[in-house]
Amino acid sequence: MSTRFKPKFNIKKGDTVVVIAGDDKDLKKPRTVLEVIVDKGRVVVEGVNIVTKHTKPSAQNTKGGIVKVEAPVNISNVQLWDAKKSVPTKVKRTRENGKLIRVSKKSGEVIK
């Protein structure tokens, strides 16, 4: 991603999204965003892109071993979930009382 300008994304931590591309593609199963990595344009979504990570023994984890964790996926591979209509939706931003708010294009509802 470009380092000159900070990109603006419509997806935030805690949003419900669906995966629209990749191995975990499922347009009917909404999932929660755990983390947004803005400078790389990636998101960590609960239960998506599970990888096995080998850990060394440490003070906290005396055994070490193999741990399964979620790896980031590209932000273009997820789409916001519209709970009212139960479909994936695009987002438009509007200004209300000087604040930017996100609005679902399918239902017209404000996204919290």
Instruction: Using alpha carbons, list the distances in angstroms from residue 53 to 66, 68, 69.
Output: 6, 6, 7
What is the average pLDDT score of the chain?
Answer: 94
Identify whether 103 is part of a domain: no
Identify whether 59 is part of a domain: yes
Identify whether 2 is part of a domain: no
* Poorest-pLDDT segment among 3-7, 14-18, 35-39, 60-64: 3-7
**pLDDT of 3 above 80:** no
Identify whether 108 is part of a domain: no
Identify whether 89 is part of a domain: no
Residues spanned by the domain of 50: 16-83
**pLDDT of 91 above 70:** yes
Residue 69's domain is classified under what CATH number? 2.30.30.30
Identify whether 75 is part of a domain: yes
Distance separating alpha carbons of residues 103 and 112, to the nearest angstrom: 9
Tens digits of per-residue pLDDT, 16-42?
999 999 999 999 999 999 999 999 999
Identify whether 40 is part of a domain: yes
Q: Which of 54, 21, 20, 48 is nearest to 32 (CA)?
A: 48
| Counted domains in the chain | 1
Identify whether 32 is part of a domain: yes
Q: What percent of the chain has pLDDT over 90?
A: 91
